Structure 1
Amino acid sequence: MKIVSTPIQGVYLVETTPFQDERGTFYRAFCDRELDSLLQGATIHQVNLSRTEAVGAIRGMHFQYPPHAEMKLLRCLKGRVWDVAVDLRQGSATFLQWCQAELSADNAQMMVIPQGCAHGFQVLEAGSELLYLHTEYYQPKSEGGIRYSDPKINIPWPLKATDVSPRDASHPLLSEDFRGIVI
């Protein structure tokens, strides 16, 4: 596993080189020893899988507030997605900035998103599946979100949004006085 920095402090892309032979492909999807510098003692408590059918569908932008803020490690197991992290951490040098990576089953990359960053993605290939590893349990009272189309963030999604849940479409826009999440 090769850990690659992104423009957002704490957001990383983990490149994995699959082993391929006549039988197919094998790669290490997770190794706490190899990712120790990113996890910094955190453990994975929950694993989720999402499947999204419609090309252009957007899921996000989601996060959890402290004390249940979480790190997420995401891989695309099937299809292709345009994966985005937005820095919402108070005092961060990259506050309200975003970065993205195309995750696919073919490139076997994993995005690591730290506490205090929102996450979302747009489906580029029908039936895309994402595997999420979370360092905290889901807590409904701690969930948060920002609107995927917030002009203050101004994410240029690669495709027209074709399918957004009512919940995601109604996430609030960031107010002018938004100072960030204290982590």
Structure 2
Amino acid sequence: MKFIETHLRGAFVLELERHNDERGFFARTFCRDEFTAHGLKPVIAQANIAHNSRKGTIRGMHFQYPPATETKLVACTRGAIIDVIIDLRPESETFLQHFSVELTEDNGRSLYVPDRFAHGYQTLRDQTDTTYQMGEMYTPALQAGIKYDDERLGLQWPLEPTVISEKDLSYLRFDEIEAELVKRMSVISSTDIA
């Protein structure tokens, strides 16, 4: 795997190193030792798949509060998405900045999302499947989100939204949750910063 760090410290785009032969190709998508060597948490507590029927579907912007913050390793195994993350670490120089990358079945990229980031995506094709390797169990009591079209976040979705869940539509704008988010996402110890 090739690890390419984004401008958001600790967030990486991973590119496959494919070994091709007459059968097709083989590539590693996760390696505990390589993740550790790059300072990433090599924990997979839960694995998920999301199927999206329609192009333009938006899922996001999701996160969990401490003590159940999640790392994520996201890949698109069928179709294509624009994957978006937002730095929610109040002490970070890039607090509230975002990064987006196109993940497709063809390019084989994945995105490593650190703890204390919001995550979401929009599908670019019908019948798109996305996998998530989660570093923490889903914890409903600590799960939260920010409205996907919050002007303050400045997210640019490439397509007109077609499908968004009621739950995602119910999320508040950042200004409405800022005080609580900053308090709950603040670092307690230096080991939480990465």
TM-score bin, normalised by smaller chain: over 0.9
| 1:81–1:125 CA contact under 8 A, matched in 2 | yes
Q: Which residue of 2 aligns with 1:115?
A: 115
| 1:16–1:28 CA contact under 8 A, matched in 2 | yes
Please, which runs of 5 or more residues in structure 2 have no aligned partner? Answer: 188-194
| 1:74–1:110 CA contact under 8 A, matched in 2 | yes
State the Cα RMSD in Å: 1.5
Q: Which residue of 2 aligns with 1:155?
A: 155
How many residues matched? 183
Whole-angstrom CA distance in 1 between matches of 2:167 and 2:38: 31
Q: Deviations over 1:137-157 (max 9, x none)?
A: 111001010011011101010
Question: Secondary structure of 2:82's match?
Answer: strand
Give 1:119 deviation, angstroms.
0.2
Whole-angstrom CA distance in 1 between matches of 2:55 and 2:88: 27
Q: Which residue of 2 aligns with 1:14?
A: 14
Q: Which residue of 1 aligns with 2:169?
A: 169
| 2:77–2:129 CA contact under 8 A, matched in 1 | yes
Please, which runs of 5 or more residues in structure 1 have no aligned partner? Answer: none
Percent identity, please: 38
> Aligned ranges for residues 48-63 of structure 1 at < 5 Å?
48-63=48-63
- Say which structure is richer in helix: 2
Q: Which residue of 2 aligns with 1:136?
A: 136
Give 1:41 deviation, angstroms.
5.1
Give 1:38 deviation, angstroms.
4.4
Amino acid at match of 2:137: Y
Q: Which residue of 1 aligns with 2:101?
A: 101
Normalising by the residue count of structure 1, what TM-score does the alignment of the two structures yield?
0.94
Whole-angstrom CA distance in 2 between matches of 1:8 and 1:83: 14
| 2:35–2:41 CA contact under 8 A, matched in 1 | no
| 2:41–2:71 CA contact under 8 A, matched in 1 | no
Whole-angstrom CA distance in 2 between matches of 1:31 and 1:52: 28
| 1:60–1:120 CA contact under 8 A, matched in 2 | yes
- More displaced 10-residue stretch of structure 1: 38-47 or 139-148: 38-47
Stretches of 4+ aligned residues off by more than 6 angstroms: none
Normalising by the residue count of structure 2, what TM-score does the alignment of the two structures yield?
0.89
